[in-house]
């Protein structure tokens, strides 16, 4: 397993994976430093994430290989189907997965998502439109949603 680090507007990001795909993308609170000498297995992920944060990429093409239960993987696959710039609720996601009663399990799987940004768990909000739960902090969730769907600036001049 290889690890590399990039700088993003939301902090230093660690990217882990191997020839089978990216297994984890997380924000760091440690003193790890971003670098430009990325392992070949992670180079595309680094490049595409940098493009995303610059605003020139809306989807990712690199291979994913997250570790989790079958149910978690099912939820994460459903998250990948949420279009860029849109949101859904935990309730709607549960309905899409075929069991409205599984809303808590869906929310728990969402919270265990190991591949930050790329598997877009930040696009899941409360049924009332509120920003609920986010492992990276609600301020990051808010930033990501605004980045993907910026409000048009209103001005009198």
What residues act catalytically? 121
Instruction: Answer yes or no: are the C-beta atoms of 46 and 62 closer than 8 Å.
Output: no
Query: Residue 150 to residues 6, 17, 127, 142: CA-CA distances in angstroms?
Result: 24, 31, 21, 11
Q: Which residue in 65, 3, 68 sits closest to 35, CA to CA?
A: 3
Tokens of 100: 């409205």
Q: Which residue in 22, 9, 7 sits closest to 55, CA to CA?
A: 9
């Amino acid at each position: 397993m290889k690890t590399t680090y990039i700088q993003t507007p939301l902090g230093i990001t660690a990217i882990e994976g191997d020839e089978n795909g990216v297994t984890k993308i997380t924000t760091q609170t440690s003193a790890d430093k971003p670098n430009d000498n990325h392992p070949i297995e992670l180079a595309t992920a680094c490049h595409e994430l940098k493009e995303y944060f610059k605003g020139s990429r809306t989807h990712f093409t690199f291979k994913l290989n997250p570790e989790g239960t079958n149910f978690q993987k099912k939820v994460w696959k459903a998250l990948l189907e949420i279009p860029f710039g849109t949101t859904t609720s935990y309730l709607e996601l549960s309905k899409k997965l075929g069991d409205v009663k599984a809303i808590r399990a869906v929310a728990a799987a969402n919270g265990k998502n190991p591949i930050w940004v790329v598997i877009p768990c930040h696009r899941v909000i409360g049924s009332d439109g509120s920003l609920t739960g986010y492992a990276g902090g609600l301020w990051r969730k808010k930033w990501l949603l605004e980045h993907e769907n910026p409000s048009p600036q209103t001005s009198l001049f």
